[in-house]
Amino acid sequence: MGSVRARAAAGATVVVALALIAAGTAVLLVLQGNLQDQAGLQAQVAARSVAEQIATGKPYDQLDLPDGEDHPVVVAAENGRVLAVGEDVRAVDGKRVAKTSQGAGSVAPSGDDEDGEDEDEQGLKSGEVDDDVVYRDGTADVDGTVADYRFAVVEAKDIRGEQATVRAGSALAPERDAVGSVRDAMLVGLPLLLVVVAGVTWLVTRRALRPVEGIRGEMAAITASTDLSRRVPVPSSKDEIGRLARTTNETLAALESSVERQRRFVADASHELRSPIASLRTQLEVGVAHPELLDVPGAVEDTVRLQRLAADLLLLARLDAGERPAGARVDLAAMVREESSQRVADRIPVRAGELASAEVAGSRGQLGRVLGNLLDNAQRHAVSSVRVAVVREGEWAVLRVEDDGPGVPESERERIFERFVRLDDARARDDGGAGLGLAIARDVAVRHGGSLAVRTGSVFELRLPVAG
């Protein structure tokens, strides 16, 4: 049962088998009930025919009784004496019956019938036939052959006021033969039908799952070759399997893009790390050989650059790993005042514009890094002015950092947020940045439910949802 096709075929076969068994049982029960009712109706007709003859005053020895084999009839008086009996009828329910004046071998009268009423309570008048009929199953011996019958018992009074009980039967053998024939047909047809159901389910499932096997095979080949540019075949159908194939290809495309970004990230990080490490090593080797030539400030500068780059790479790794920001409340205006007061070594002093009180939910450290990166970027490009402001726009808190530099060309306003991307002008004037500041700032903004974009050439706008 390791195959989906096998499980589907087995499941469909079991369900169909249970349904057919239930339906077949219901059909047999209904058929049996109908045939029993039909036998009871035939027995009632025979019993009433004899009862009507008695009611009209016809002598008992002249009653026109039906054939004993088809409808055995016994007519008994109130005291159980047999008044008339059908031809060749020898016994009913194992009790011998015979027309005798002493009542020997008589059958029980109808006083113990299932309706629980005795004859005195019937209120029959002379020449009447009781409308009530009592049915019971029993056996009858007709000419030495014992068989099962459905009996109908009817009460009648002759014109002299004597009450008689007419008991007429109808053979149940035809009913049982019919039920048996239907049952045998079902027992023969059910296995054949189940074989057909299993086969059809197997073929249909196999055809339906054929594209899945193609997808599985292509995924196995992609895994073995590590070639993420390959795609799984997409069937022409618009069903779930088609959607699965399209979703799989979208996942492969996203995975390919992610792996490519990771490769570029590793390559760029290696390149950015190589320069300060090589410079620091050279300075230290020169200092070992010629201590008087050691450039301590340069070594410190390279070390600081390495430290910043390592911190940026560590933060990017945490962001890529899906680290969720803390849920603390951060007042952007207070954060701007605090960060601005600590930047005493900036080339251009940071001026504060409108600082509206606006609290957001998130990480104080990460949001502080965003503000610091934006201010560092503004310091590198500003001519004489760097300005920061916080405003409230509906449910959004907006932090703007603006400088009076040349601005970012419109065609480059999205590319500058990519990792390790620095425009030519920025690279020429860079004091050691690795092109990660804006990429980190946007990643942090997105993970805080906000956005970071260049609204005009030199205005960077951070939008965050107001807390609570």
Q: Write the CATH number for 436.
A: 3.30.565.10
| 8-state DSSP, 97 | -
Report the C-alpha gap between 103 and 113 in whole angstroms: 20
The strands making up 95-96's β-sheet, listed across from edge to edge, are: 82-85, 73-77, 163-171, 145-157, 134-142, 89-92, 95-96
Among the ranges given (47-56, 88-97, 373-382), the one the predictor scored with the smallest mean pLDDT: 88-97
The residues, ordered by sequence, that sit 6+ positions from 23 with a Cβ below 8 Å of its Cβ are none
Q: Is the pLDDT of residue 102 over 70?
A: no
Could you tell me if 116 and 173 lie in one domain?
A: yes
C-alpha distance from residue 308 to each of 167, 209, 297, 323, 417 (Å): 112, 54, 16, 20, 18
Identify whether the C-beta of residue 32 lies closer than 8 Å to the C-beta of residue 179: yes
CATH number at residue 256: 1.10.287.130
Could you tell me if 19 and 162 lie in one domain?
A: yes
Identify whether the C-beta of residue 355 lies closer than 8 Å to the C-beta of residue 333: yes
Could you tell me if 34 and 1 lie in one domain?
A: yes
Could you tell me if 4 and 150 lie in one domain?
A: yes
**Is 229 within the bounds of a domain?**
no
SS3 107: coil
pLDDT band at 391 (very low <50, low <70, confident <90, very high): very high
- Per the prediction, the chain carries an average pLDDT of 83
Given 320, 349, 376, the domain boundary residue is 320
Q: Is the pLDDT of residue 32 over 60?
A: yes
Closest CA to 110 of 68, 149, 159, 151: 151
pLDDT band at 110 (very low <50, low <70, confident <90, very high): very low
pLDDT band at 239 (very low <50, low <70, confident <90, very high): confident
**Is 228 within the bounds of a domain?**
no
Report the C-alpha gap between 98 and 399 in whole angstroms: 117
Identify whether the C-beta of residue 94 lies closer than 8 Å to the C-beta of residue 139: yes
Could you tell me if 151 and 33 lie in one domain?
A: yes
> Quick one: pLDDT at residue 261?
76
Domain that holds residue 413: 328-465
> Quick one: pLDDT at residue 397?
94
SS3 63: coil
> Quick one: pLDDT at residue 117?
38
Report the C-alpha gap between 21 and 176 in whole angstroms: 19
Q: Is the pLDDT of residue 432 over 50?
A: no
Could you tell me if 144 and 213 lie in one domain?
A: yes
Count other C-beta atoms under 10 Å from residue 466's C-beta. 15
> Quick one: pLDDT at residue 7?
83
Looking at per-residue pLDDT, the higher value among 215 and 272 belongs to 215
Could you tell me if 204 and 285 lie in one domain?
A: no
**Is 78 within the bounds of a domain?**
yes
pTM over 0.75: no
Phi, psi at residue 465, to the nearest 5°? -70, 135
Among the ranges given (30-39, 76-85, 139-148, 413-422), the one the predictor scored with the smallest mean pLDDT: 413-422
Mean local confidence (pLDDT), 355-373: 91
Please tell me the total count of domains within the chain. Answer: 3
Given 184, 219, 254, the domain boundary residue is 219
Could you tell me if 370 and 351 lie in one domain?
A: yes
Closest CA to 166 of 262, 235, 84: 84
Question: What are the start-end ranges of the E strands in 113-171?
Answer: 134-142, 145-157, 163-171
pLDDT band at 111 (very low <50, low <70, confident <90, very high): very low
Question: Which residues are 386's β-sheet partners?
Answer: 350, 403
pLDDT band at 367 (very low <50, low <70, confident <90, very high): very high
SS3 167: strand
Return the percent helix, strand and coil in the chain, to nearest 5: 50, 20, 30
**Is 225 within the bounds of a domain?**
no
Own/partner pairs, 402-409, CB within 8 angstroms, 24+ separation: 402/378, 402/458, 402/459, 402/460, 403/378, 403/379, 403/458, 404/458, 405/378, 405/381, 405/458, 406/381, 406/457, 406/458, 407/456, 407/457, 407/458, 408/454, 408/457, 408/458, 409/457
Looking at per-residue pLDDT, the higher value among 295 and 159 belongs to 159
State percent of the chain over pLDDT 90: 25
Mean local confidence (pLDDT), 210-231: 85
Mean local confidence (pLDDT), 381-406: 92
Could you tell me if 131 and 205 lie in one domain?
A: yes
**Is 224 within the bounds of a domain?**
no
Could you tell me if 291 and 421 lie in one domain?
A: no
Count other C-beta atoms under 10 Å from residue 2's C-beta. 5
Among the ranges given (100-114, 116-130, 135-149, 193-207), the one the predictor scored with the smallest mean pLDDT: 100-114
Given 275, 294, 320, the domain boundary residue is 320
Could you tell me if 208 and 244 lie in one domain?
A: no
Alpha helices in 290-329 (DSSP H): 296-320
Could you tell me if 154 and 92 lie in one domain?
A: yes
H or E element that contains 269: helix 240-289
> Quick one: pLDDT at residue 463?
94
Token pair belonging to 145: 């052959």
